[in-house]
Structure 1
Amino acid sequence: ITLTTALHLHRGGNPKGPAGTGKTETVKDLGKTIGLWVIVTNCSEGLDYKSIGKNFSGLAQSGCWGCFDEFNRINIEVLSVVAQQIMSIMAALSAKVNEFIFECQTIKLVSTVGLFITMNPGYAGRTELPDNLKSMFRPISMMVPDNIIIAENMLFSDGFTNTKNLARKVF
């Protein structure tokens, strides 16, 4: 609900948390449920604003969702330009226009476009996002699930009675 609300408000989603918590998979599964193609881009220090801009342009024209994995690996110099590119797309979505100017070109806008960034704040060498970029994405904290509690509930729903002990034996 948090991600769809962010899209409704013409913002992006920002799932963040430790590795293995399902940040990217959550975005991909939501897109699949809604019936939209999700394009995942793994970000690194080598990405420049031109290549990211081409990616944004394609997403805006096709109406697909873009999930930029480990977005905070991108260099701070590049992030300032990327923030302007994202702001341009989100402003066009808010204005409900069919075309807009992006990187000095008029391009078509399909209103189903969605932008998501995932971050793993625990890794060294990550860039802190500028405030103007943070404000464009709704943060969603994710954590490693407690498998024992999940197993307890699954066992209980299947009619088992001694679920605490059984769940511990499973994990």
Structure 2
Amino acid sequence: MGRPVSLTGPHGTGKSETVKGLAKAMGIMCLQISCTEDTSLTGLDKLLVGVIQSGVWALFDQFRTMDTSILSLLSTKLIDFRNKLLQQVPRSQIVVEGVNLPVLRMQSISVQTNPL
């Protein structure tokens, strides 16, 4: 497993529930993070550090609602995480807030959006 996903679809079609259900079936905690236009990068960085350190899955709900500058910076970090995860290099690490964090093979950070 350990494959981040980006889910897009109409409201109420089960995007978030699918990710949370898969995590539950695998015995992994999934943290659902509700994004808004007020979401700050500092808060997201702290969440990312906690998520990556603990090995839980993260699901960013309503990803597109964030300010575009925050969305861009977070997307860059998530792409870096995804690339490290897909490389399947033992003891791969990602840097968030100046902290070197190990990338766990079973980890997943996913995003969910509704169409515009």
- TM-score range relative to shorter protein: 0.7 to 0.9
Structure of greater relative contact order (alpha carbons < 8 Å, 6+ residues apart): 2
Aligned to 1:35: 27
TM-score, with structure 1 as normaliser? 0.60
Residues 17-166 of structure 1: pairs in structure 2 closer than 5 A: 17-93=9-85, 94=87, 95-97=89-91, 99-122=93-116
- What fraction of aligned residue pairs are identical, expressed as a percent? 26
**What is the CA-CA distance between 1:112 and the residue it aligns to?**
2.0
Tell me which protein shows more helix as a share of its residues: 1
**What is the CA-CA distance between 1:98 and the residue it aligns to?**
5.0
**What is the CA-CA distance between 1:62 and the residue it aligns to?**
1.2
TM-score, with structure 2 as normaliser? 0.86
Alpha-carbon distance between aligned partners in 2 of 1:102 and 1:118, rounded to the nearest angstrom:
22
Alpha-carbon distance between aligned partners in 2 of 1:50 and 1:98, rounded to the nearest angstrom:
24
Alpha-carbon distance between aligned partners in 1 of 2:21 and 2:109, rounded to the nearest angstrom:
15
Q: Which one has the largest radius of gyration?
A: 1
Alpha-carbon distance between aligned partners in 2 of 1:84 and 1:21, rounded to the nearest angstrom:
28
Gaps of at least 5 residues in structure 1 are 123-171
Gaps of at least 5 residues in structure 2 are none
